Copies of this chain bind each other. A is one copy, B any other.
Amino acid sequence: MEELDALKFYRTVEAGQTIVWSGDEMDFVASIVTGIATLSQTMEDGRTQMVGLLLPSDFVGRPGRRAAAYDVTATTDIVLCCFRKRPFEELMIRTPHIGQRLLEMTLDELDAAREWMLLLGRKTAREKIATLLAIIIRRDASLQQKLRGGGTLEFDLPLTREAMADYLGLTLETVSRQVSALKRDGVIELVSKRHIVIPDLARLLEEAGDDSDGGLPI
């Protein structure tokens, strides 16, 4: 661990900036310290799909790969803790614990990706929005212990409507419409465009279409 410390250096990125472009050579790996970043893929004609959301403690880059496979973009101001790749890889071989931790994290990301595949392939626009909100809530809950005995929840959306659309495989107009519809139906309340109140979490989860029991499985 002290060895890792010796390798690291910090880097800051402003909101909206792209950290790496798909296809770029990457000579470092990194871990998010603060802020939120997104992984996305873009087709020739401009259609884009987000394929991952990176939160503090998440890992950027893949050991053993030269070029980046996705665009990595900062959605908020970001602080990265970087390691030059070669030394990191060597350290990983000598220190099994690091690899084990990476395996854990990668398996979690794989689960998240697969949950997202169900959303993209089979859920309606309304269910997609509800699911996204539920996921953001779950994440918030696990970070800051903000649950007040199952009462009302509120939070800020860290994403624009366009980013939500790219995440959900929708257009931004559809996102806007469905958010309005959920508001009209009393599932959510909009304090401002980005600040949302959930009067009844169970109701939201029902709209999300998940087969979960409704508990917050942190």
- Binary contact readout A188-218 vs B (1 if CB under 8 angstroms, 0 otherwise): 0000000000000000000001110000000
Number of interface residues of A (CB under 8 A): 41
Q: How far is the CA of A185 from the CA of B113 in the complex (A)?
A: 34
**CB neighbors of B among A29-53 (8 A):** 39, 41-45, 47-49, 51-52
Q: Is A168 interfacial (CB-CB < 8 Å)? A: yes
Q: Is A25 interfacial (CB-CB < 8 Å)? A: no
- CB pair A69–B121 under 8 Å, yes or no, is no
Q: Is A118 interfacial (CB-CB < 8 Å)? A: yes
Q: How far is the CA of A1 from the CA of B117 in the complex (A)?
A: 35
- CB pair B62–A107 under 8 Å, yes or no, is yes
- CB pair A47–B122 under 8 Å, yes or no, is yes
A211 contacts across to B, CB distance below 8 A? 42-44
* Of the residues B41, B43, B47, B121, contact of A114 by C-beta under 8 Å: B41
- CB pair A52–B114 under 8 Å, yes or no, is yes
Q: How far is the CA of A96 from the CA of B96 in the complex (A)?
A: 6
**CB neighbors of B among A97-117 (8 A):** 99-100, 102-104, 106-107, 109-111, 113-117
Integer count of this chain's copies in the complex? 2
Which B-chain residue is minimally distant from A62 (CB atoms)? B107
- CB pair B122–A51 under 8 Å, yes or no, is no
Q: Is A151 interfacial (CB-CB < 8 Å)? A: no
Which of A42, A43, A44 is most buried by chain B, counting CB atoms within 10 A of its CB? A43
* Of the residues B47, B62, B116, B122, contact of A117 by C-beta under 8 Å: B116
A103 contacts across to B, CB distance below 8 A? 99, 102-103, 106
The 8 lowest CB-CB distance pairs between A and B, nearest first, are A121-B169, A96-B96, A120-B120, A51-B114, A113-B113, A49-B121, A47-B122, A120-B121
Contacts A41-B115, A109-B110, A121-B169 supplied; 19 other A-B pairs, CB < 8 Å? A39-B114, A41-B118, A43-B118, A43-B211, A44-B209, A44-B211, A45-B209, A47-B122, A49-B121, A49-B122, A69-B111, A96-B99, A99-B99, A99-B103, A106-B106, A110-B113, A120-B120, A121-B168, A122-B169
